[in-house]
A = this chain, B = another copy of it.
Amino acid sequence: MTLTDPDRLYPAEPRQRDLARALYQSVADLPIISPHGHCDPRWFAENDRFPDPAALFVTPDHYVFRMLVSQGVTLPDLGIARTDGGPVEGDPRVIWRRFAENYHLFRGTPSAMWMDHSLEHVFGVTDILGPQTADAIYDQIEAQLATDAFRPRALFERFNIEALATTEGALDDLAWHKMTQDSGWTGRVITTYRPDAVVDPDFEGFADNLVALGQMTGEDTHTWTGYLAAHRARRAVFRDHGATATDHGHPSAVTANLATAEVEALFAKIIAGTFTTHEAEMFRGQMLTEMAKMSLDDGMTMQIHAGCVRNHSAQVFAEFGRDKGFDIPGRTDFVGALQPLLDAVGMEPDLTIILFTLDETTYARELAPLAGAYPALTLGPPWWFFDSYEGIKRFREAVTETCGFYNTAGFNDDTRAFCSIPARHDVSRRSDSAYLAGLVTTGRLREADAFEVSQDLAYTLAKQAYGL
């Protein structure tokens, strides 16, 4: 048997299904452009084998363990490290069994589809994961992980990845990227400049980070001019390590464009640590505009991931730290928030700002109208909770009528689960094919155009948006 339906995600009506299949098949073998994600660059630098099935599929994937937690499994039971170093489950087979016993919880979720896809298409598993099959599947995966064909670089090539961007902080020494570049391996793994830790006054260790930034760049990061110069220097270093883009994870989409004297006064408060909540927000907002202006100079694409309420559970954060599945979407305003930045640079045709949201109500009301007017704006694909069949469907249905296809930026997998990359791009290509087939069969798009658009969505738009 197969774990995945060969016709999955196509519409049920036969004429639509046939067209969706044809559209999908026309893009199924295109290389993967993965311009934004959170893979570990060390994998490709060292090319060591992945440790075990649990470490590959469960422990790093907050999509997976949050669901188990929601039904009463605890994070230590799943081997998630405690911040105090206290004991957690250490046997990967036990963790795997707990996952398998609860696999029914994922029914109807994209996690199940990605998992089944990875099991079948990466590891050749043909049995359904569950309590009875857990051990055999564990052994089957483990045996393959021990072979060279399942090392990171081999999988990268097998996955047909043309370019993969990771995301590093401004203070990262990019040593893994350098090691990969120097290794002679031809896989294109590039970095992305993510300066949150030196831009957000509320970030843990912000003051120390500024000092470190000064040391790395030789700039006086306690003057506004030196601070901006340090950013320019780090951006240049990141570009030397392949970066074509920056990324900004802000709690809101607020931007600012203050006069120089105002900024300098604000920066002095930030440096002094005497800022209010509002001033921190203003500073982050000002820095988005500064980054956009630097992008005008150095050509880097700018990504804004706005509106996530991080670490919602104080208890989970205290005991286990960040990225433990307790990040919740917040309401996000873009119309007022982006106005200062857009007044400064929104009409620039050579600037590319890609917007991401976790608030789907903004798709049709705010994002598509903005992207359908301002030359600098482009819409990123559905993010995080919405990187799924229904999420992609809602996105396309909400934005296409107002901003078309050519104000969108193709697909990002945005994952830290390496084996899910082909699965996620597959879902995206199938979901878009289903959407396009619906347009054609209802007379809203010509069939020949649909095949062109299909290529654009699966491949071309991402390359263009990220300058790859």
Contact = CB atoms under 8 A, between A and B. Distances in A.
Nearest to A332: B365
Given A343-B315, A404-B67, A389 B330 contact: no
A13 B349 CA distance: 43
Nearest to A346: B313
Interface in A1-35: 4-5, 7-13, 15-16
Contacts of A375: 69-72
A333 B108 CA distance: 26
Contacts of A72: 349, 375
A359 B364 CA distance: 9
B389 A442 contact: yes
Best-buried of A312, A358, A389 by chain B (most CB within 10 Å): A312
Nearest to A319: B347
Contact of A373 (B66, B441, B453): B66
Number of copies: 3
A317 to B, nearest CB: 10
B371 A70 contact: yes
B442 A9 contact: yes
A182 interface: no
A142 interface: no
Contact of A366 (B4, B104, B329, B368): B329
B404 A449 contact: no
Contacts of A445: 107-108
Contacts of A328: 335, 366, 369-370, 373
A152 interface: no
B329 A309 contact: no
Given A369-B328, A385-B364, A391-B401, A108 B316 contact: no
A453 B365 contact: no
Interface in A304-337: 309, 312-316, 325-331, 333, 335-336
Contacts of A159: none
B70 A374 contact: yes
A403 interface: yes
A208 interface: no
Interface in A333-392: 333, 335-336, 339, 342-343, 346-347, 349, 358-361, 364-366, 368-375, 377, 385-386, 388-391
A206 interface: no
A61 to B, nearest CB: 14
A302 interface: no
Contacts of A70: 371-375, 377, 403, 407
Contacts of A385: 364, 368-369, 401-402
Given A71-B349, A72-B349, A385-B402, 4 more contacts: A7-B443, A9-B444, A67-B403, A328-B366
Interface of A: 4-5, 7-13, 15-16, 66-67, 69-72, 104-110, 113, 128, 309, 312-316, 325-331, 333, 335-336, 339, 342-343, 346-347, 349, 358-361, 364-366, 368-375, 377, 385-386, 388-391, 397-398, 400-407, 438-439, 441-446, 449, 452-453
12 contacts: A10-B442, A12-B16, A70-B371, A71-B406, A72-B349, A107-B405, A113-B443, A315-B347, A328-B366, A329-B335, A360-B364, A390-B401
